Amino acid sequence: MISSIKRFLIGRPLKSTALGEQKLSKTKALAILSSDALSSVAYGPEQILIVLVTLGTLAFWYSIPIAIGVLILLAALILSYQQIIFAYPHGGGAYVVSKENLGVNPGLIAGGSLLVDYILTVAVSVSAGTDAITSAFPSFHSHKVVIAIIFVLIITILNLRGLTESATILAYPVYLFVLALFILIGVGLFNVLTGKVSPDLSAPLGTPVAGVSLFILLRAFASGSSALTGVEAISNAIPNFKDPAPKNAAKTLMAMGTLLALLFSGIVFLAYYYGISPRAEVTVVSQIAEETFGRNGMYYFIQGTTALILILAANTGYSAFPLLAVNLAKDKFIPRMFTIRGDRLGYSNGIIILGVASILLIMFFEGQTEHLIPLYAVGVFIPFTLSQTGMMLKWIREKPTGWVPKFIINTTGALISFTVTIVFFLTKFDRVWPVLIFLPLIIFIFHRIRRHYEAVGDQLRITTCEPAVPIEGNVIIVPVAGITHVVENSINYAKSLSPDQIIAVYVSFERDDEKKFEEKWKNWQPDVRLVTLHSHYRSIIQPLTKFVDTVEHKASESNYQVTVVIPQFIPKKGWHNILHNQSSLLIRSFLLYRRNVIITTVPYHLKK
Amino acid sequence: MISSIKRFLIGRPLKSTALGEQKLSKTKALAILSSDALSSVAYGPEQILIVLVTLGTLAFWYSIPIAIGVLILLAALILSYQQIIFAYPHGGGAYVVSKENLGVNPGLIAGGSLLVDYILTVAVSVSAGTDAITSAFPSFHSHKVVIAIIFVLIITILNLRGLTESATILAYPVYLFVLALFILIGVGLFNVLTGKVSPDLSAPLGTPVAGVSLFILLRAFASGSSALTGVEAISNAIPNFKDPAPKNAAKTLMAMGTLLALLFSGIVFLAYYYGISPRAEVTVVSQIAEETFGRNGMYYFIQGTTALILILAANTGYSAFPLLAVNLAKDKFIPRMFTIRGDRLGYSNGIIILGVASILLIMFFEGQTEHLIPLYAVGVFIPFTLSQTGMMLKWIREKPTGWVPKFIINTTGALISFTVTIVFFLTKFDRVWPVLIFLPLIIFIFHRIRRHYEAVGDQLRITTCEPAVPIEGNVIIVPVAGITHVVENSINYAKSLSPDQIIAVYVSFERDDEKKFEEKWKNWQPDVRLVTLHSHYRSIIQPLTKFVDTVEHKASESNYQVTVVIPQFIPKKGWHNILHNQSSLLIRSFLLYRRNVIITTVPYHLKK
């Protein structure tokens, strides 16, 4: 039954050879990988104004130079990541770049913060989208957490179904959102040019503002830069592209950068020109839309697509997290299970872990994930800084032809990213301090895991270890609970292996019982030696283990191998198991994990 | 760590031979087994008045004849259960008596309703006691459910520690409650005799009352009879008494009956003489205490011991439920695990199941368990009726000397119990209908379980089945994942058993890999045949199962036995397991439960 539910939700398994068909075209990739970055337009410009409004509305003109700063950073990032794509065509983004150029630990810092960040992306963006919906339909407000969880489940299932299927469904909302914002910006600019909106609504550029300081301007810049989260997603996901993957990925990245730049500057400009102040209840985009169209169908179209893309921004996490996990798992820093492709060829374990972790986050914060945003932004800018610094070193070290402009681009990007990171730490330390605890912890765990895998590898490798001890003979112990077909079966099997000795062991709780059983046994299996053990504390495991230890000790002296043959009857239906004490299972796990004996289970399948 | 917590909570394991020391003396048994019955005094008289008050306060004099009726029922029950104790000295109460005299299904009706009833006892009485406490300390009111659950946990742990230990702790509150009520009744009667209280506070006996009907009087009688729940506990628990168990149990039952009769009639008389009306906020006992002492220390002493004994009434359930479960389990109507004695010689599984079930009930009803009381009373009077009818038949059938008075006692008891049951159904059908659904369901499950055990027994018994198929030879299949020490170990072991054939099986996901592995294998183990299977869907289980099926089919033709030897490395620490795909475990459980092959696990213990 479980398997048919699974079949219904995620579809029939796909053959490994179908992998090529699951790859993404450029238009689908743009939809699936840029929803996070593009959705930032819905809140990025607002973040700048929220900081500036502390200086008064006169300071709003600063949003223009700050936006230009953000655009420069965006350009530097896009150009830099394009170079990363060609330099590292197998994907991995910041983790691989930092690891190869700066060393393992910087790589792990980048990888670890991105890993946590993708979980935050999912939780934060789904919560934000759910907020947008429950603002429109207040009666759902008390069910916010449940709604958010349902969205996460839907996105998880879509991703388990596979890349192309989810891309097809997700492409529409993304392109609708882009279309809606272009209409908004276009009509807004038309109104400006035709003089329908008076330009003196806000202070002109260069108006002197009291109390302005570099600190506040940097803070506004850092807040605005949170619109750039999600830019690295494409460079992580190169293996998902159709061939030629790097070329297609670079083109998609450029398209995304252009779209992001256009939408971002359009919104900032209109907000400045309309003289819009950030308000708690109504977003900046919503104010612009209302000024432009009034509260008509177009307004609701813009609001609706905005809510949708906020939820879909989560999908970027789903594309990037499993691939990053594969890279980390291949280097043995996280469990190997992340490298396994599921029925539909996606890395299902990564997808499922991401879904579960973000649902836990949503439940823990009860859907109030807003104050995770600075944490999340820092988690992006740390790997940005590291990967660009890595690229700088790469150019200096390799010095390919025409490396100087590339070096300059990366240096600019690294410097701005580093500045943004520092500004976040200086201005929002109360929100971002957990990074300083989680990152070292994660990196410690990464190293522990790797050390374990290496220790295991060393011990398993044939060449490095001493040869196996030869087995000179076999002793078989059969724990018996009575004179039944199950026991008969096991004894027959033990005999068929013609070992050097078979010992049947009976654990009794009462003295009378012992004698009786010994006699019965002698009549039934006179050629098999029976040992009866008395259990004072009504436990089977304890006396049995002690006995096995004694036998094992003696056997190992002459290189004999001890095998415990456990008779087990298998009921016809699963629920029958609760009617039987699971002694066989208990004995098996206890001996297997703690003693050096081989465990054989002889099943006796019941027919009714 | 878990085992040391367990040790701390429930104490060191006891040897089976210590069983005698765990038996109860009469005074301890009275405390431990009568708390349920005695605590009923706290609400039984009130139940009568609550019904009568619907006729007006003039009708209160009816409480005297009704109380006499209840006392007659009590006397009949006590005398009847004394006979049951001597007739069935191994305990079992209503279940055993009904089963032996009326047949299996009446026995199961009695046993099933008592089983459910003990769970209700625990939930209802702990909730009632918690209510009494939170009435005194209203600030705890919002934590009612948590407090009730903590009480259930404490009682569960006490019972897991063993009978005598819990008896010692529980004896004080019970005897204090009895003492408190005796002082109250004594001082009250003294006041009455010395004329301090005027007798004309209430209507004299025989005052005509408008609207009185047999229906209402029966209803009041049935409500008052709810004070008799818990009377059967002693007859279930005879095996817990010190020798001579039946004699001691009979004496304890008589002592309990006397105490219950004295306290019940004292409270009913004082309530009538003081002219007390039932009030929602203050209990009848509390009103009597206030009239007698005023609100002084004595008043709080009475209230406190009442609250305590209400909580301890739960303990009666803990003494009786596990013993009843043992009786049902011995007859194979419920899972066998209920017959196992735990570390401290109590039937731990019964104790734990009772605790868990009543915690679930408390959580489900959020501590509002009052309307479960009628359900609970019906659940007691159904087995009362059945067991006494059973005794009637027994006397008629066996006709021992002097059977006539015994027959009369049991007939009286059966008739009154039957009347009370019918009255409950007639007057409180809205509360007691679930019995009509649960009882048939439980009895159906009882029979299903028994049928399963019998089917298993038939299949396992040596005499009734055909002899086992002889094993002519052995084929061993070793699934291998690489060329490692784990695999080497398993191959060596397989060889040491000198089977007729060893087949190593390798499942590959990629074609290239196959060839390479085959070559490596040929160099490493040239004498072991290797079969490589290609998995299209990246599953190991599927192709392996198919292969095992083929081999098994061929082998069974010539009575060869197939054994799958699974190499498994055991990491040094438990948490390491999540770092390794548990393929060995998966393969094992899949093959063991679905295929007719023997599974051998060859452990390779890692040292770091």
Q: Are residues B120 and B26 in the same domain?
A: yes
Which of A328, A337, A353, A459 to mutate to test binding with chain B, by most B CBs within 10 Å of its CB? A459
* Range in B119-123, B293-297, B440-444 with the lowest mean pLDDT: B293-297
> Does the residue B468 lie in any domain?
no
Rounded to an integer, the average pLDDT of B151-162 is: 88
Cβ–Cβ < 8 Å for A377, A73: no
Average pLDDT on A239-245 reads: 84
Indicate yes or no: CB of B336 within 8 angstroms of CB of A605.
no
Q: Could you say which of B335, B496, B603 has the minimum Cβ distance to residue A579?
A: B335
Contact yes or no for B601 and A606 at CB 8 A: no
Query: Shortest CA distance to A355 belongs to which of A153, A105, A559?
Result: A153
The helix (H) or strand (E) run that includes residue B100 is: helix B93-102
Listed in sequence order, the DSSP H helices in B365-402 are 373-398
Q: In this structure, is residue A462 part of a structural domain?
A: no
- Answer whether A336 sits within 8 Å of B496, measured CB to CB: no
Residue A467: which pLDDT band, with cuts at 50, 70 and 90? low
Tell me, what DSSP letter sits at residue A335?
-
Domain shared by A493 and A438, yes or no:
no
| A208: confidence class by pLDDT, cuts 50, 70, 90 | confident
Contacts of A451 (CB under 8 A, 6+ apart): none
Instruction: State the sign of the Cα–Cα–Cα–Cα dihedral A248, A249, A254, A260.
Output: positive
Q: Find residue A570's DSSP bridge partners.
A: A605
Do A431 and A488 belong to one domain? no
B24: left (phi over 0), alpha (psi -120 to 50) or beta: beta
Contact across the interface for B538 and A335, Cβ inside 8 Å: no
CB contact under 8 A, A452 and B579: yes
Query: Residues B318-340: pLDDT tens digits?
Result: 888 888 898 899 999 998 888 88
Q: Specify if A580 maps to a domain.
A: yes
Residues A436 and A511 in one domain: no
Q: Do A452 and B593 touch (CB under 8 A)?
A: no
Buried b (16+ CB within 10 A) or exposed e, B264-275: bbbbbbbbbbbb
pLDDT at B197: 73
Average pLDDT for B512-519: 88
Q: How far is CA A366 from CA A109, A118, A415, in A?
A: 29, 19, 37
Residue B167 vs residues B25, B321, B425: alpha-carbon distances, Å: 10, 16, 36
pLDDT at position B12 over 60: yes
> Going by C-beta distance under 8 Å and a sequence separation of 6 or more, which residues neighbour residue A518?
A530, A532
Same domain? A435 vs A479:
no
* Stronger pLDDT, A97 or A93, i.e. the higher one: A97
Same domain, A565 and A599: yes
* Chains A & B: contacts with CB separation below 8 Å: 176
> Residue B462: which of A488, A495, A561 has the nearest Cβ?
A488
**Which of B343, B485, B593 minimises the CB distance to A468?**
B485
CA-to-CA distance for A414 and A420, rounded, in angstroms?
10
Higher pLDDT, B90 or A407: A407
pLDDT computed for residue A264 by the predictor: 92
According to the model, what pLDDT value does residue A106 have?
Answer: 93
Give me chain B's average pLDDT, please: 85
pLDDT reading at B4 higher than 80: no
Instruction: Give yes or no: residues A167 and A63 share one domain.
Output: yes
pLDDT at A464 over 60: no
- Residue B580 carries which DSSP code? S
Half-sphere exposure of A412 (CA within 13 A, CB side): 19
Q: What is the band of B466 on the pLDDT scale with cuts at 50, 70, 90? A: low
Is B608 in contact with A489 (Cβ distance < 8 A)? no
Quick one: average pLDDT of B280-290? 81
Which residue, B75, B71, B113, is CA-closest to B224? B71
Environment class of A314 (CB within 10 Å of its CB; exposed 0-12, middle 13-18, buried 19+): buried
Of A501, A607, A483, the closest CA to residue A552 belongs to A501
Rounded Cα–Cα distance for residues B152 and B138 (Å): 21
Whether residues B367 and B516 fall in one domain: no
**Chain A residues within an 8 Å CB radius of B449:** 579
Cβ atoms A504, A478 nearer than 8 A: yes
Beta pairing class for A598-605 and B598-605: antiparallel
pLDDT tens track for B218-252 = 888 888 887 787 888 888 778 888 888 889 999 99
Per-residue pLDDT tens for A475-518? 999 999 888 888 998 999 999 988 889 999 999 888 888 889 99
The answer to whether the CB of A177 falls within 8 A of the CB of A308 is yes
Q: Could you read off the pLDDT of A503-557 as tens digits, one per residue?
A: 999 998 888 888 899 999 998 889 999 999 988 877 888 889 999 999 999 998 8
Facing B461 at nearest CB: one of A337, A484, A537: A484
Q: Do A579 and B460 touch (CB under 8 A)?
A: no
| Residue A448 and residue A559 share a domain | no
Say whether A479 sits in a helix, a strand or coil: strand
Contacts of A509 in chain B (CB under 8 A): 16
Supply φ then ψ for residue B295, to 5 degrees.
-85, 70
> Which pairs with CB-CB distance under 8 Å and at least 24 residues apart come from B246-251?
B246/B85, B246/B86, B246/B89, B248/B26, B248/B29, B249/B29, B249/B85, B250/B82, B250/B85, B250/B86, B251/B26
Count, residues in chain B: 608
Helices (H), ranges, A275-402: 284-293, 297-330, 348-364, 373-398
Mean pLDDT value across residues A7-26: 74
| SS3 at position B300 | helix
Let me know whether B135 and B276 are in one domain: yes
The predicted model gives B94-101 an average pLDDT of 90
ipTM for the assembly: 0.76
Q: Tell me the pLDDT tens digit for each residue of B470-511.
A: 888 899 999 998 888 889 989 999 999 888 899 999 998 888
Q: Is position B43 within any domain?
A: yes
CATH number of the domain that residue B555 is part of: 3.40.50
- What CATH number should be reported for the domain holding residue B104? 1.20.1740.10
Q: Which of A387, A510, A486, A85 is nearest to A257 (CA)?
A: A85
pLDDT at A440 over 60: yes
Residue B467 has pLDDT above 70, yes or no: no
CB B119 within 8 A of CB B357: yes
Query: Best mutation site among A449, A502, A579 for testing chain B: the one with the most B CBs within 10 Å?
Result: A579
Question: Does residue A466 lie in a domain region?
Answer: no
Domain coverage including residue A502:
473-605
Q: What size, in residues, is chain A?
A: 608
Distance between CA B452 and CA B442 in Å, rounded?
A: 15
Residue type at position A148: A
Q: Each residue of B35-55: pLDDT tens digit?
A: 888 888 887 888 888 888 888
- Give me the amino acid identity at B597: V
Same domain, yes or no: B291 and B427: yes
pLDDT given for residue A179 in this prediction: 93
Q: Which of A526, A109, A42, A562 is nearest to A306 (CA)?
A: A42
**Do residues B86 and B251 touch, judged by C-beta distance below 8 A?**
no
Question: Residue range B257-275: average pLDDT?
Answer: 91
Give how many domains chain B has, as a whole number. 2
Q: Compare CB distances from A459 to B485, B524, B600 and report the shortest one's residue.
A: B485
The per-residue pLDDT for A287 is 86
**pLDDT score at A509:** 83
Q: Which two tokens stand for residue A591?
A: 């001996």
Count Cβ atoms within 10 A of the Cβ of residue B492 and give its class: 0-12 exposed, 13-18 middle, 19 or more buried: middle
CB atoms within 10 A of CB A346: 23
Cβ contact B170:B30 at 8 Å: no
Residue B154 has pLDDT above 70, yes or no: yes
Residue A228 inside a domain? The answer is yes
For A460, which of B459, B460, B569 is closest by C-beta distance? B569
Query: What angle do the packed helices B348-364 and B144-161 form, to 10 degrees?
Result: 170
**pLDDT for position A165:** 65
A557 within a domain of the structure (yes/no): yes
Is residue B127 within 8 A of residue B369, CB to CB? The reply is yes
Token digits of residue B148: 């009730």
Give the pLDDT band (50/70/90) at residue B277: confident
Q: Measured between alpha carbons, how far is A339 from A391 in angstroms, rounded to an integer?
A: 27
Are B218 and B304 spatial neighbours (Cβ–Cβ below 8 Å)? no
The confidence band for B20, taking pLDDT boundaries of 50, 70 and 90, is low
* High-pLDDT (> 70) share of chain A, %: 95
Residues A484 and A574 in one domain: yes
The answer to whether the beta carbons of residues A338 and A347 sit under 8 Å apart is: yes
pLDDT at B99: 92
Task: Say whether A492 and B485 touch across the interface (CB within 8 A).
Answer: no
Q: A463 in a domain, yes or no?
A: no
